[in-house]
Amino acid sequence: MQRQKQTDLTHIHLWKTICFLVFGVLFCTQMVLGQSDTLVLDDQIRVVGEIKKMEKGVLEIDVPYGDEVFKIKWSSIKEIHTESRFLVSLRDMLYNGRVSSTADGRIRVYDKDTLFAEGHLKEIVYLNQIKEGFANRFSAAVELGFNVTKAQDMRQFSFRSSAGYKSDSWWLEASYNMIRSSQDNTEPIQRTDGLLNYRRLLFRKWYGIATLSTLSNTEQLIDIRANTQLGAGNYLLSTNKLHWGIKAGVNNNYELFSNDPESRTSWEGFLGTELNIYGARDLDLSIIYMGYSGITEEGRYRADVTFDLKYDLPLDFFIRLGVAYNYDNRPAENASQVDYVFRTGIGWEW
C-alpha cells in the first residue's frame, strides 16, 4: 500500500514536470512567434524571423530555420510587417516605431495607437532594431594588408580598424590606421592616423559634429598633427543606392614637425563631403574629401582625400582597396607638399 502511494506520488510529480515543460515550451514559442517580423518578396515567398537592420539597400533577417542571418535586397521586398520596434529613416526623417505594409501598397510607421508617418516602401532608407543592449548597437571592423614587390625589395604592412556605437539620436565612431613601408636605399616610411567622431541628430537631415583626429607621417616630417573640429553637416541625398552628405565648421590645428622643436597652433575653416555608393551587389565605393583654409594663418590650404573600394565576402569578411592623399601648400621645411599611399587588405566586420 505504501509502495502504491509512493508510485502515485511519483506519477503526479512526473506529470507536473511534463505539463510544466509543455506549457513552458508553448509559452516560449508563442513569445518568439509574437515577436516575429514578416517579409513578402516579389515572388510571393514569405520570410518570417527577426529583422536586424536594413542599410545600403540590404536587409538582414535572422530566421529560426537557419544558422546564418539572411541578407535580402530591399528592392526585392514587396511587403513588410514588424512586431519589433525600429529606428526608421523615411523621407529624411527619423522615427521610432513598427513598420507595416497597407492594402494599397504603402507602408506606415506606428507604435500602438500612434501613427507617425506613411509613405512608400522605397522611401525607407534605413532600419535598425531598437534594443538597449550594448552589443546590439556596437559595430567594428579590422583589416590587415601585406604587400611585397621584388623591385628594390619593397615591403609594406598595413593595419586598419574601426568601431562604432549608434543610439537613437547620436553616433560615436573611432578608427585607427597604420602603415609601415621599407625598401632598399630609402628611409622607412611610417604613417599613423586616428579618429574619434561624435555626431548628434539636430533636426531633419542636419546633425552636429565634434571630431578629434591625429596624423603622424614621416614623409611630410609630421611628428603629430592633432585636429579638433566643431561643425554641422547635412545629408543631401540618402537612398538605397547611395548616400551623399556635406559638413562645415572650424578646426584647431596643432602641429609638431620632426625638424622643428617649436610646435604650431592655428585656426582653420573646413568644408568636407562624403559620397557612398552601394547599389552594386556586394560592392561599396566610398569617397571622402576634407578641405582646410587658414584663418589665423592666411593663405594656407590643406586637403585630405580618401578613396575606398570594398567587396563583401561570405561570413562578414571583405577585401578592400584604398588610396589616401594629403596635400599641404605650406609643409614643414624640406618636406613634401604631397603624400599618398595605396593599400590593399582583407578584413572582417561585425
* Residue 57, pLDDT score: 85
Q: Tell me the Ramachandran region of residue 205: left when phi exceeds 0, alpha when psi lies from -120 to 50, beta otherwise.
A: alpha
Per-residue pLDDT of the chain (350 residues; tens, 9 = 90+): 444 444 444 444 544 444 444 344 433 444 444 458 899 998 888 999 988 888 888 898 888 876 678 888 888 899 999 988 888 888 777 788 899 988 777 899 998 888 998 989 888 988 888 775 666 678 899 999 987 765 556 788 999 999 999 877 889 999 999 999 887 777 788 999 999 999 998 887 899 999 999 999 988 899 999 999 999 999 888 888 888 999 999 999 999 999 888 999 999 999 999 999 986 778 899 999 999 999 999 999 999 999 999 998 988 899 999 999 999 999 888 888 998 888 899 999 98
For 200-268, the DSSP string reads EEEETTEEEEEEEEEEEEGGGTEEEEEEEEEEEEEEEEE-SSEEEEEEEEEEEEEEEETT-SS-EEEEE
Spatial neighbors of 264 by CB under 8 A, at least 6 apart, are 253, 254, 255, 256, 257
H or E, element range at 31: helix 2-34
Q: Which one, of 231, 212, 245, lies nearest residue 125 by Cα?
A: 245
Terminal CA-to-CA distance of the chain, rounded, Å?
A: 64
Kindly give the pairing relationship between strand 206-217 and strand 189-203: antiparallel
Compute the CA torsion angle 323, 328, 329, 330 (nearest 10 deg): -150
| CA–CA dist 205, 247 (Å, integer) | 12
* Residue 326, pLDDT score: 92
The answer to whether the beta carbons of residues 272 and 247 sit under 8 Å apart is yes
Count of residues making up the chain: 350
* Residue 33, pLDDT score: 42
Every domain of the chain and the residues it spans: 36-130, 135-349
Could you tell me the fold of the domain covering 135-349?
Porin (2.40.160)
* Residue 129, pLDDT score: 84
Q: What's the distance, CA 350 to chain centroid?
A: 10
* Residue 234, pLDDT score: 93
Q: What is the identity of the amino acid at 144?
A: L
> What's this model's pTM, rounded to 2 decimal places?
0.78
* Residue 42, pLDDT score: 86
H or E, element range at 185: none
| CA–CA dist 193, 178 (Å, integer) | 7
Q: ∠ at Cα 344 (340, 348), nearest 5°? A: 130
Compute the CA torsion angle 214, 217, 221, 227 (nearest 10 deg): -10
